[in-house]
Structure 1
Amino acid sequence: MKNVKYVLAENGLTSWHIVVSWDAPEPQKYAADELQHFIYKISGAVIPVVTDKVEKRGPEILVGPSNRYKEYEIDLDFEKLGEEGFIIKTVGENIVITGAKPRGTIYGVYTFLETYLGCRWFSSKVSKIPQRSKIELPEIDDMQVPAFNYREAYWRDAFNGYFAVRNKMNSNKGEFTDRQGGKFKFYNFHHTFNDLVPVEKYFSTHPEYFSEINGKRVAERTQLCLTNPDVLELCIQGVKEWIKKDPTCNVYSVAQNDWHNFCTCEKCREIDEREGSHAGTMITFVNKVAEAIAAEYPDKYIHTFAYQYTRKAPKYVRPAKNVIVRLCTIECCFSHPLEECNVEAIKRAEQSKTSFLDDLREWSRICDNLFIWDYTTNFANYLMPFPNLHVLQPNLQLYRKYGVKGVMMQGNFSHGGGGIMAELEAYVQSKLLWNPDIDVKKVINEFLVGYFGQASVPIGKYLEMMHEAVKPYHMSIYDMPDAPYFTDELLSKAEDLFDEAERMADNEEVLERIGNLRLQVTYTVISRMPLENPSREVMIERFSRELRKYGITEIFERRDLQMSIEKMKTSRYCRDRSGLYRVDYRM
């Protein structure tokens, strides 16, 4: 290493100490313990962890704020760190790793281990911890602040608290311990109208609480009447009950159900026509809920969607200071960067003339707390390839450009998952959510080598081939296996690359990872195969056994695996499989 200034450990020995404040909170102590643990795994040296009440005995790594700062004349500007930033800095013979509370110091420690000691955490089960007899360091002056306050790669493997915190995500779904610093926590962070005012409970006696469509109040797949004062009171009381039930949440959701059928009564229609958007009634209503909540709970936020029929920003009403609006990309093309492609791969039910980019600009102009709900898998065909890695960086850079404060990237969140490179997606997304300017190709290559070893070369060629294939087309999150970018020739080449990868596998674990990933090609081939092909049923049975071997529980969103397999036997594509979906689910 050039410009070596510090030797942390050599031949299992060290003169250093890790210092925490005598009254340090648990996340700060956890950061110190993790630093000690991984330095030991790297070098065999155990650096003692002591408090700042202990007399100095040699060079120190100061983890978090402590009384040593005054002694060493360390002056740090914590204001610049925001809510989760950190500083790694060499001062004299010492190293300071400190950050904003409660998680900044933890993120600083993991960045120190990653950037300066070479650690990587590729998934919940696969990591790279280098072995060194000597740990050398240069002078360091590294301050980082995340691009987004809320960062969530919504994949099952990424919910693992150790993976998430080590990759600096504060995911709502993250399974964190208190020592890991907690998370950005939502209460019911999805569609909640029916939770707040259940149609089953109220429609028979109060149909006026629900959508009026063509002059008639409807119960099936309905929304709320947002100009009804009783509905407002029920929602306010419902949110207050949620806060009492779980006061640890940052955000409480007041959001439309996951379908259309907005209310068109005279009062609702009047507001929406004036505002030029159905977000007019939504934001007017949510602001009133937020105002009532702020009077008693000034530190809580109310969340709602700009989704489908509410995606377009209103002309006049502005979201309140304690309202989070989450703009959703569901209709967008995911094979081209959003700033370069206005095509909507899914046609909007509402005949709006605004593009997603138009809507992003307008919401960013009027909303102080704009979040994004992004989509990073094919929801109709979980196991079908979804080559989108090339658009993640430009899209996140776009969100940052327009002042977005939080991003959730929804992938396959089922209990099984797999077969779709979920671990790579989660890893790359976690890195980009912290810093959208990273070298993405380097990150992908590091993952492939760490995850697949020698087989990373054919796997890398496969991924590159798939990404090139989708570029001439507009890819949606509901495309079918007969999409024009999938051809028999392409899939045949993919099979050859997987054959090569299996021959090059370093060991059985890597061979299993390759087999898991190969399921996406197998699924696509079977789905394109004519029903009368005599090999089809045998292939489906073998495919079914492979799914269970790898613990995969869903191949279509929200559907039982066995039912899905039976549907595959009788029809080729998801669009042909009647009764495939239901909407009674929780995220």
Structure 2
Amino acid sequence: MQVLFGDDIYPKELTIFNNGQSNHVIVLPASATEIEQKAALKLQYYLREMSGTELKIVPENKTGYAHNIYIGKCNNTKKLNIDFLALGKDGFSLNTLGNDLFISGGNGKGVLFGVYGFLERLGCRRYSTDIEVIPKNNHIKIPGLNITEIPVFEYRETLMPDASNSDYAEWHKLHHRSERGNDWGMWVHTFDDLIPPERYFDTHPEYFSLNNGVRSAKTQLCLSNPNVLDLVILQLKELIAENPRATYWSVSQNDTYGPCECLGCKKVDNQYGGVPSGSLIHFVNQIAERFPTKIISTLAYQYSRRAPAGIKPADNVNIVLCTIELNRSRPIKTDPGSLSFVKDISDWKKLTNNILIWDYIVQFRNYLDPFPNLHVLQPNIQFFLDSGVNMMFEQGSNRSLSEFHELRCYIMTKLLWNPDMDVDAVMNDFLNG
């Protein structure tokens, strides 16, 4: 998180409630967006629960009040000269000026995240889906504010039980899986979906990987076969027509091994560094060329994790780089067993800026077994940030309960917003809450 403190030009303390009484109203733009309306309602609810008094929500063109809490892009916000472009989608600003409080945000969910950030400053907490803290306080006074927070990761998703709840995800400024469902037309391991072996293998085994001299329906596709390319393009055309709003479309290996070993695929691999990612990127780039307004995503996973040489992913190709082989109990940057991954992420970063890290923060053998890796979460997040990554997907136990899953999820959500936050302070806050 980039935290920007301006000059102390708005130092005046602001009293919002005094013994349960307030002169403030919540002000929305005359044509408020859905997110601005939701942000106002959430602020109204939590302030009422804290103080016992409900503030009115009024449109800006019908207010004549002298004490206002402005939500979103109100006309009066212009006097602050906020750089909304710099806020991106999710950044927000908290400002006081005279008797007024301004909560502003980017063009995504920034203003809603700003409301939740403000409420946390008042002592509210969302420790889990079921545990929420709303302190009772009928005298709410805030210091002068001139603060901007901008997340350093453009995409932040955590696959944990609590994070599957949309309210929890929004409170912690995460992307919820439902948003991924809107933005992604297909999501990883898609070869079988694009060319189903039950439909094609019997009549066209040459569409599938040659492994140890035998074509296999249970591994991957033959990426040097021009008919495979044509079929994938045709299938994508149909799928995109059905879901034109989706931006990302994954063309990626199945969740197994077995890259094609035919002469054609080997020739392409050898042309681009002698690694299977060579034929993969060559294949995906051709698809990306046919769909210039979409982003074609593919995996750098297991056998395809090493970056190719002599070829770059197209500008509209996204690389999902996975850490599945690594020791999750040690920081990646300093773990001798992870040196190859450190090289891989560096090599991919030289080829593209469009990288999503798929990281793993639990062990899969038994979710309830003790797995003391809380100490590696921060150094790993900082390593990914220092490596130039701006999209993070943290795979935990999904909707299954796991050891310390509430605490692990809570810490991870805070780190994805602010990789430099005080982990001990956050952990103590959680444990004492």
**Cα deviations by residue, 1:372-403 (Å, 9 ceiling, x for unpaired):** 00011111212211211111111111111111
Is contact 2:299-2:321 (8 Å) kept?
A: yes
Match of 1:555 in 2: none
**Aligned match for 1:60, one of 50, 54, 68:** 68
Q: Judge which range, 91-100 or 34-43, deviates more.
A: 91-100
Determine whether 1:273 maps to 2:275. no
User: Structure 1: where are the runs of 5+ without partners?
Assistant: 177-181, 345-353, 451-587
**Cα deviations by residue, 1:262-303 (Å, 9 ceiling, x for unpaired):** 001111101112222211111111111111111xxx1x3211
TM-score, length basis structure 1? 0.70
Matches of residues 199-238 of structure 1 in structure 2 within 5 Å?
A: 199-219=197-217, 221-238=218-235
Is contact 1:385-1:420 (8 Å) kept?
A: yes
- CA RMSD, 1 decimal: 1.6
**Cα deviations by residue, 1:18-55 (Å, 9 ceiling, x for unpaired):** 11111111111000110111111111121111111113
Is contact 1:11-1:45 (8 Å) kept?
A: no
Match of 1:449 in 2: 432
Distance apart, 1:260 and its partner CA: 0.7
Work out the CA distance in 2 between the residues paired with 1:26 and 1:232. 41
Match of 1:5 in 2: 13
Matches of residues 554-569 of structure 1 in structure 2 within 5 Å?
A: none
Question: What is the SS of the residue equivalent to 1:89?
Answer: strand
Match of 2:142 in 1: 137
Is contact 1:170-1:183 (8 Å) kept?
A: no
Distance apart, 1:245 and its partner CA: 2.7
Is contact 1:170-1:184 (8 Å) kept?
A: no
Q: Judge which range, 74-83 or 116-125, deviates more.
A: 74-83
Distance apart, 1:4 and its partner CA: 6.6
Work out the CA distance in 2 between the residues paired with 1:64 and 1:143. 14
Task: Give the partner amino acid of 2:426.
Answer: V
Distance apart, 1:256 and its partner CA: 0.3
Match of 2:302 in 1: 308
Work out the CA distance in 2 between the residues paired with 1:185 and 1:380. 31
- CA, structure 1 residues 444+248, in 2 after alignment: closer, same or farther (shift >3 Å)? farther
Determine whether 1:86 maps to 2:123. no
Determine whether 1:368 maps to 2:368. no
Is contact 1:90-1:139 (8 Å) kept?
A: yes
Determine whether 1:254 maps to 2:259. no
TM-score, length basis structure 2? 0.94
Work out the CA distance in 2 between the residues paired with 1:42 and 1:246. 43
Task: Give the partner amino acid of 1:160.
Answer: N
Determine whether 1:103 maps to 2:130. no
Match of 2:3 in 1: none
Distance apart, 1:214 and its partner CA: 2.7
**Cα deviations by residue, 1:124-179 (Å, 9 ceiling, x for unpaired):** 111111111200100111111112111111012211000000000013x24x7xxx
Is contact 2:77-2:102 (8 Å) kept?
A: no
Is contact 1:337-1:391 (8 Å) kept?
A: yes
Distance apart, 1:249 and its partner CA: 2.7
Task: Give the partner amino acid of 1:446.
Answer: D
What is the aligned-residue identity percentage? Answer: 41
Match of 2:54 in 1: 46
Is contact 2:182-2:245 (8 Å) kept?
A: no
Match of 1:387 in 2: 372
Task: Give the partner amino acid of 2:211.
Answer: I
Question: What is the SS of the residue equivalent to 1:87?
Answer: strand
**Cα deviations by residue, 1:499-522 (Å, 9 ceiling, x for unpaired):** xxxxxxxxxxxxxxxxxxxxxxxx
Work out the CA distance in 2 between the residues paired with 1:4 and 1:96. 14
Is contact 1:225-1:231 (8 Å) kept?
A: yes
Question: Which structure: greater strand fraction?
Answer: 2
Task: Give the partner amino acid of 2:235.
Answer: G
Work out the CA distance in 2 between the residues paired with 1:111 and 1:237. 46
Distance apart, 1:183 and its partner CA: 7.9
Determine whether 1:420 maps to 2:403. yes
Task: Give the partner amino acid of 2:388.
Answer: G
Q: Higher relative CO (CA 8 A, sep ≥ 6), structure 1 or 2?
A: 2
Work out the CA distance in 1 between the residues paired with 2:182 and 2:64. 37
Distance apart, 1:17 and its partner CA: 1.1
Determine whether 1:409 maps to 2:394. yes
Q: Alignment length, in residue pairs? A: 422
Question: What is the SS of the residue equivalent to 1:53?
Answer: helix
Task: Give the partner amino acid of 2:81.
Answer: D
- Of structures 1 and 2, the larger Rg is shown by 1
Is contact 1:11-1:44 (8 Å) kept?
A: no
Match of 1:471 in 2: none
Work out the CA distance in 2 between the residues paired with 1:235 and 1:399. 32
